[in-house]
Structure 1
Amino acid sequence: MTEEAERPAVAEARNEPAAGILKPGRNCWRIAKASRASLLPDAATYFARLEQAFRQAERSILIIGWDFDGRIHLCPEDRVCLPLGPMLRELVETRPDLHVRILVWSLAVVHGPSATTELLINPDWQEHPRITVRLDHEHPIYAAHHQKIVCVDDQVAFVGGIDLTVKRWDTWRHKAGDHRRIDPDGHDYEPVHDMQMIVEGDAARAVAEVAKTRWKRALDEELPPVAAAGTRWPDGLVPHFVDTDVAVARTLPVWRTHPPVHEIGTLTLDAISAAKRCIYIEAQYFANFEVAERLAESLQRPDGPEVVVLMSRVLPGKFEQFIMGRNRDRVLRRLMQADRYKRFGGYHTVSPSPKGDVEILIHAKLLIVDDQFLRVGSANLNNRSVGLDTECDLAIEASTDQQREVIARLRRELLAGHLHVSPDELAETTRRLGSTIAAIRALGKGGTGLHDFTTVKPKGPTGPVFGTGLLDPKEPLSERWWWGGRKKGQPPKLAPS
């Protein structure tokens, strides 16, 4: 099946690929060559490949995360494998040159799902001079360190939406009642969908530089480059991309003497504006109104792209439901109202079971445009990820037909997995109906894993809910306002940008 055959009929007159999205200094920090790169489409794959890379490490394992829990198993199918913390301790004891450094957001002890004792009271596995676990306090009030980065010997790096913590492991099938989906306390949890990307070579060294910069800001310690021979690429992992340019994009809030960086937010808008055929999004939070307006502009064009968005129906936690959930509904309503040519599809994901559908938590942060552009990382489509939290994403813009085919295949595999059909069946149905959205509706009639957001009606408010500026701000609120320096009746003052 050719990509030409799979393109929606509505866009046949504009089937040239989007060009020139990535621009260092505008929407990404650096573009570096990856000798090999692969998308790891679920946490089971990520954890297994990460364990392989860890066991090849000789000098450095650097972990930068929103949360961390050393009790998790990277290989839950293997009941004899050590938990992550003791495994890292075993590695440093057998390799005299290996240092393990772990930096975790300071408020993970309150907001993260990990055990508080893992971060505040040093477990036995941390009691080693070459294992360092620190909390990151260097961020504005109410901001979060949200990057999920792992670097091994500066030779391979993993970037995406998955923290090394509890309730993250799952397979691409997201099977209801999977007995392996159990947290360290023995409690089961619902299916969760997320992904990570692995890169090797100069791209890995660029990611390592981002991670070391974060370490330096948090702890005022300079980490030198790592000189290590050989490869840390996991054995048996066939790369999706070879000798490919990979862009590193960041969000950094204004803090102390450091200026803000808004590369990821700009990249999102630039990629959407460049779309001609299809925008495919998987989003934990879909609550950014700038993104909504840019998508609405695309939907209102007679020759604009189809827009497919996958989300969770029910968000965990009262805060997420109040702000992110209600704003998501308003963003969806805005796109429904703009969808004059019937090219928008917003779906929530479920895992069918004999006892009824089980909701899948979408934790991924994925954007694919025209099978030409692929972005994976930690940044959500909400306000915080634009300018308040610390984020890191990786992006690939295809420069060859082979790279375009790889991105197209990855999109088909992801979407087909949610629909519980084969990628070939999805491709054939799309070709026959001339539309990805029409294919989703046709294939979903049998009760598969994607459902329309029937709870959201086209009529109603389409702007941010009251309190969004405080609960999901785009920039840090000044400390002076938080501590009472604001005059009565004066609105909150945003930090300079």
Structure 2
Amino acid sequence: MQLLEETTSLQAPDIACKAVRSPVGPILRPGQNCWRVAQADRASVLVDGAPYFSHLEAALRRAQRSILIIGWDFDGSIRLRPDVSTEESPPLGRLLRSLVEEKPDLEVRILVWSIAVVHAPGAPGPLIFGADWQDHPRLHLKLDTHHPLYAAHHQKIVCIDDALAFVGGMDLTVERWDTQRHACDDSIRLKDDGSIYEPVHDLQMAVDGEAAHAIAEVGYGRWKFATGEELAPVSTGSDPWPADLLPDFHHVPIAIARTYPAWGEQPAANEAAALTLDALSAARKTIYIEAQYMTAPCVGDVLERHLADPDGPEIVVIQTHESHGWAEELVMGTNRDRLIRRLRKCDRHDRLRVYYPVIPNGEGGECQVLIHSKLIIVDDVFLRIGSSNLNNRSIGLDSECDAAIEATTEEVRRTITGLRDRLLAEHLDISPETFARTVAGNGGSIIAAIEQLNTGVRGLRPFGAMSDDGPDVPAAGTGLLDPLEPFEPLSLFRRRKE
């Protein structure tokens, strides 16, 4: 493996790096770019941690038979509603313990990536040694060691009674809660040491019906591979949907796309990356992306083809600006800038914008908003929310789960467009209605609308990497620190014997 030279491309597994969509026809293709398409009677998009955590708490309290939590990290000390009293909203671990004590038929299962104990921000002690709240025969917390070297279990799923499922970018851990204000000095947003953690923006989708059943199957499969225990589906007839959560979508098909590397008896699944590439390839007018990381060369290939087309779509990307830690900065930050530079060089028709959001800090400066969401909206026809970043390891190394909607009615088209407008309006600190009117007044151009409205102290800032100077290929070390597939140290010896 060459680590000392820059590379011009990184090839992902074939099924993940090639768009399989035909030039015309639907984007979603079960068995190719999604595992299954299942109906949801209701679906909602929860923007930022405070709404998600609040609705999740309400749903957990309605559980009757089963709560299944799958996460990259988990911390039972967090409070889902830190803006109210502890009596009203106790720490999550204590809440779960109280629920199993109150409800004799309820089982709670929590599955966490094993390396979270050294890599994730939550407290490692309770994951390794247990905690008082875990001391109950119907409350089970397991560490999932079933993954290749350096791979992460990155799915963020909560399933309740197989009747309601949440899937997206948010783990139930520290430094995830925030409101849409994203105030730099919000004293509710505290770390254990009493300091305020940075504003964070994220998304989660809630679905019910057959879609919730299908996502629960994903969770049950993970639990079986990790623990050997096969879980039976539950049926309670109950409705854990939170009473005050208004659905964004009614009677809508939900596509579920997964990523798993082949490991042991677990077969590979590359639907999520295939769906990303197919959806991006399908764009005609606009692509809107929110991404913690966007570094994968195969994503760049699709966007570059669009930018080269005189009639291609506008592309707006909202990303995290400041990386955390040397490894993240070395690979994710560096390769993000290089991919931006690559795309900028081919943007001859001025249809690309890459921004990061900022909030005034009250002292004449500004602080960034950490973008943790993993969102793709294509035209008014496609919405994807999940755990998959647009980097190499999310293509074929880490476990991922995304949920997607492809519009088949005008109502769904309007809802997808409305969500895009709502998200951009949040970053620009204006109303969604103002943004929508400005888009219409600029002939449908979201770039023109952003530039017209991006005048406040809270807003969007362009990346400095938009200049043409500097390298535009993946950095040295990418193949090691952001690999496309599992690294097997013994594979070289096996090849020599063949």
1:225 counterpart = 2:233: yes
Find the residue that maps to 1:368 and give its secondary structure: strand
Equivalent position amino acid for 1:55 in 2: R
| 1:341 aligned residue (349, 352, 355) | 349
1:28 counterpart = 2:34: yes
| 1:449 aligned residue (441, 459, 473) | 459
1:104 counterpart = 2:112: yes
* Cα drift, residue 78 of structure 1: 0.9
Q: How big is the alpha-carbon RMSD for the aligned residues of Structure 1 and Structure 2?
A: 1.6
Alignment of 1:106-121 (within 5 A): 106-121=114-129
Do the aligned residues in 1 keep the contact of 2:341 with 2:465 (CA within 8 Å)? no
Residue aligning to 1:160: 168
Residue aligning to 1:322: 330
1:68 counterpart = 2:74: yes
* Cα drift, residue 351 of structure 1: 1.1
* Cα drift, residue 319 of structure 1: 1.0
Do the aligned residues in 2 keep the contact of 1:89 with 1:131 (CA within 8 Å)? yes
Stretch moving more, 177-186 or 305-314 = 177-186
| 1:390 aligned residue (383, 399, 402) | 399
| 1:375 aligned residue (381, 384, 388) | 384
* Cα drift, residue 427 of structure 1: 1.6
* Cα drift, residue 79 of structure 1: 2.0
Do the aligned residues in 2 keep the contact of 1:71 with 1:184 (CA within 8 Å)? no
Residue aligning to 1:359: 368
Alignment of 1:276-295 (within 5 A): 276-295=284-303
Do the aligned residues in 2 keep the contact of 1:251 with 1:389 (CA within 8 Å)? yes
Cα distance in 2 between the residues matched to 1:486 and 1:357: 54
Residues 390-422 of structure 1 deviation map (CA, whole Å, 9 limit, x = unaligned): 000000001100000001111100001001111
Do the aligned residues in 2 keep the contact of 1:155 with 1:231 (CA within 8 Å)? yes
Equivalent position amino acid for 1:471 in 2: L
* Cα drift, residue 318 of structure 1: 1.2
Cα distance in 2 between the residues matched to 1:333 and 1:24: 35
Residues 251-298 of structure 1 deviation map (CA, whole Å, 9 limit, x = unaligned): 000101332111111111100110000000000001111101100101
Find the residue that maps to 1:85 and give its secondary structure: helix
Unaligned runs of 5+ in 2: 1-22
Change (3 A) 1:107 1:135: same
Equivalent position amino acid for 1:158 in 2: F
Equivalent position amino acid for 1:451 in 2: R
Residue aligning to 2:448: 438
Do the aligned residues in 1 keep the contact of 2:344 with 2:466 (CA within 8 Å)? no
Residue aligning to 2:11: none
Cα distance in 2 between the residues matched to 1:173 and 1:477: 42
Cα distance in 1 between the residues matched to 2:152 and 2:260: 10
Cα distance in 1 between the residues matched to 2:469 and 2:417: 35
Unaligned runs of 5+ in 1: 1-16, 491-497
1:404 counterpart = 2:410: no
Cα distance in 2 between the residues matched to 1:198 and 1:452: 32
Cα distance in 2 between the residues matched to 1:209 and 1:324: 32
Cα distance in 2 between the residues matched to 1:186 and 1:353: 18
Equivalent position amino acid for 1:239 in 2: P
Cα distance in 1 between the residues matched to 2:351 and 2:360: 26
Find the residue that maps to 2:436 and give its secondary structure: helix
Equivalent position amino acid for 2:322 in 1: V
Cα distance in 2 between the residues matched to 1:215 and 1:287: 31
Residue aligning to 1:420: 429
Residues 336-388 of structure 1 deviation map (CA, whole Å, 9 limit, x = unaligned): 01111100000011112321111111000000000210000000000000000
* Cα drift, residue 185 of structure 1: 4.6
1:125 counterpart = 2:110: no
* Cα drift, residue 184 of structure 1: 4.3
Equivalent position amino acid for 1:187 in 2: S
Moved >6 Å (runs of 4+): none
Q: TM-score, normalised by structure 1?
A: 0.92
Cα distance in 1 between the residues matched to 2:494 and 2:478: 19
| 2:477 aligned residue (458, 467, 474) | 467
Work out the number of aligned pairs and report it.
Answer: 471
Change (3 A) 1:455 1:337: closer
Cα distance in 2 between the residues matched to 1:480 and 1:250: 27
Change (3 A) 1:118 1:185: farther
Cα distance in 2 between the residues matched to 1:351 and 1:53: 32
Cα distance in 1 between the residues matched to 2:489 and 2:66: 37
Find the residue that maps to 2:440 and give its secondary structure: helix
* Cα drift, residue 169 of structure 1: 0.3
Find the residue that maps to 2:206 and give its secondary structure: strand
Cα distance in 1 between the residues matched to 2:292 and 2:32: 25
Residue aligning to 2:98: 90
* Cα drift, residue 230 of structure 1: 2.1
* Cα drift, residue 485 of structure 1: 4.5
Do the aligned residues in 2 keep the contact of 1:18 with 1:276 (CA within 8 Å)? no
Residues 422-441 of structure 1 deviation map (CA, whole Å, 9 limit, x = unaligned): 11221222222332112111
Do the aligned residues in 2 keep the contact of 1:300 with 1:340 (CA within 8 Å)? yes
Do the aligned residues in 2 keep the contact of 1:349 with 1:451 (CA within 8 Å)? yes
Cα distance in 1 between the residues matched to 2:454 and 2:156: 33
Find the residue that maps to 1:440 and give its secondary structure: helix
Find the residue that maps to 2:294 and give its secondary structure: coil
Cα distance in 2 between the residues matched to 1:430 and 1:346: 18
| 1:274 aligned residue (277, 282, 291) | 282
Equivalent position amino acid for 2:290 in 1: E
Equivalent position amino acid for 1:399 in 2: T
| 1:308 aligned residue (316, 326, 341) | 316
Do the aligned residues in 2 keep the contact of 1:19 with 1:274 (CA within 8 Å)? no
* Cα drift, residue 456 of structure 1: 4.2
